[in-house]
């Protein structure tokens, strides 16, 4: 028996980096909205690009059935940023006008956007243009302000931890230092948690600029104590003290000249400083692929069904969120333009230090 709903028809899109759990979230929104409230659902292809190009299709139950365990997103994704200046002001106006026209032409009551900081910020900006928008936080980086955790993070944490476990055996066999780079270009949550879970000897995160001399002394001390191998876990956004003092433009130039991968830069410096054989591994997009963990499936489904409830009640302009151990929502303005960084006094940093991990700085 369908229950009355304020929302009769909504559009749904996924934007930004994909992650395990996206399809579980899509399924949560769509099954609750369709089965409980008989809402009509318009699937929008490839993030905001699909709205601009009117690349859409009606989603039927068969479309959102059997996708709980599938990685990626059935809708496709892009990093199209309608409000991002790219040198031609009229370009933004045209893109936003096209989005508003598609929204009106499809007779949508609301737009549900699944994405990271940028996607929810775009959703908020569209809400200020008069569209009804509900946001769903997703990213392996876990760096979205307003929610205690994002789905995608747990799956990537499992993948990263398994990789670190595997590197232990090869580093030990060759008495080597291996530097593994995990994703997280602005926040170090993934590297911090996987580093603790995998027993990393050094963990480098963007929030704590590193000093290669401190790292080298720590590794030499380990070597003198008989530990002839070490694992360094670095977030892709980790930076040296010198880099941290650069502005964005100079830092970009530095990285272009010294190699874009922090793992290779750090590995080279460690080998130069200590003379110990050092190798680098960049785990890359493996962290974003494959089936979601059970934790991510549960979180994604819960956030999805919570979004359907907001649709039914007509509570637009919200982002669903994990708040403590319950699912709630915050104003869509909350994540705008922000990044949830690792606080330098976060308990996990002291946990790492307490078991002898070097965080790259005194
Ligand atoms: O935002 C999630 C993320 O995986 C980051 O950790 C990573 O730096 C970025 O996306 C990669 O972006 P792209 O998929 O556009 O290469």
* pLDDT grade for 89, boundaries at 50, 70 and 90: low
CATH superfamily, domain at 157-288+343-354: Phosphofructokinase domain (3.40.50.460)
Verify whether residue 141 is a known catalytic residue. yes
User: Which of the listed residues 14, 17, 150 should we mutate to test ligand 1's pocket, taking the one with most ligand atoms within 8 A of CB?
Assistant: 17
Three-class SS state of 179:
strand
The ligand 1 atom at the shortest distance from the C-alpha of residue 140 is 2
For 221, residues 6+ apart whose C-beta sits below 8 A from its C-beta are none
Q: One of 109, 141, 143, 296 is an active-site residue; which one?
A: 141
* pLDDT grade for 85, boundaries at 50, 70 and 90: confident
Specify whether the CB–CB gap between 253 and 133 falls below 8 A.
no
Pocket of ligand 1 (CB under 6 A): 16-17, 79, 116, 139-141, 183-185, 236, 288
Mean pLDDT of 57-71: 98
* pLDDT tens sequence across 27-60: 999 999 999 999 999 999 999 999 999 999 999 9
* pLDDT tens sequence across 264-280: 999 999 999 999 999 99
Rounded distance from Cα 69 to ligand 1 centre (Å): 21
DSSP E strands, the chain? 9-14, 40-44, 56-58, 110-115, 133-137, 177-182, 202-204, 230-235, 278-282, 318-323, 326-331
* pLDDT tens sequence across 128-169: 999 999 999 999 999 999 999 999 999 999 999 999 999 999
Listed by start position, the domains of the chain span 9-151+292-331, 157-288+343-354
CATH class of 9-151+292-331: alpha beta
Specify the pTM.
0.96
């Amino acid at each position: 028996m369908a229950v009355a709903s304020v929302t009769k028809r909504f559009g749904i899109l996924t934007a930004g980096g994909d992650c395990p759990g996206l399809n579980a979230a899509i399924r949560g929104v769509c099954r609750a909205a369709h089965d409980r409230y008989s809402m009509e659902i318009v699937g929008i292809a490839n993030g905001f690009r699909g709205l601009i190009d009117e690349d859409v299709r009606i989603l039927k139950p068969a479309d959102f059935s059997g996708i709980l365990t599938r990685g990626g997103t059935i809708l496709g994704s892009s990093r199209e940023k309608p409000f991002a200046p790219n040198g031609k002001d009229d370009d933004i106006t045209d893109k936003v006008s096209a989005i508003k026209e598609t929204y009106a032409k499809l007779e949508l009551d609301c737009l549900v956007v699944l994405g990271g900081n940028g996607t929810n910020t775009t959703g908020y900006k569209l809400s200020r243009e008069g569209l009804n928008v509900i946001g769903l936080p997703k990213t392996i980086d876990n760096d979205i302000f307003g929610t205690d955790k994002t789905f995608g993070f747990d799956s990537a944490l499992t993948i990263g931890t398994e990789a670190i476990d595997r590197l232990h055996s090869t580093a030990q066999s060759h008495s080597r230092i291996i530097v593994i780079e995990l994703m997280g270009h602005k926040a170090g949550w993934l590297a911090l948690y996987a580093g603790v879970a995998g027993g990393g000897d050094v963990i480098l995160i963007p929030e704590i600029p590193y000093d290669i001399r401190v790292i080298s002394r720590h590794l030499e001390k380990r070597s003198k104590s008989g530990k002839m191998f070490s694992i360094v876990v670095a977030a892709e956004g980790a930076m040296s003290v010198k880099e941290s003092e650069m502005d964005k433009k100079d830092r970009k130039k530095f990285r272009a000249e010294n190699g874009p991968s922090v793992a290779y830069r750090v590995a080279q410096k460690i080998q130069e400083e200590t003379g110990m054989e050092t190798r680098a591994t960049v785990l890359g997009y493996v962290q974003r692929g494959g089936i979601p963990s059970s934790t991510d499936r549960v979180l994604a489904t819960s956030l999805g069904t919570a979004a359907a409830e907001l649709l039914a009640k007509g509570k637009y302009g919200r982002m669903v969120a994990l708040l403590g151990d319950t699912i709630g929502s915050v104003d869509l303005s909350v994540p705008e333009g922000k990044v949830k960084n690792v606080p330098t006094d976060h308990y996990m940093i002291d946990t790492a230090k307490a078991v002898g991990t070097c965080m790259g700085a005194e």
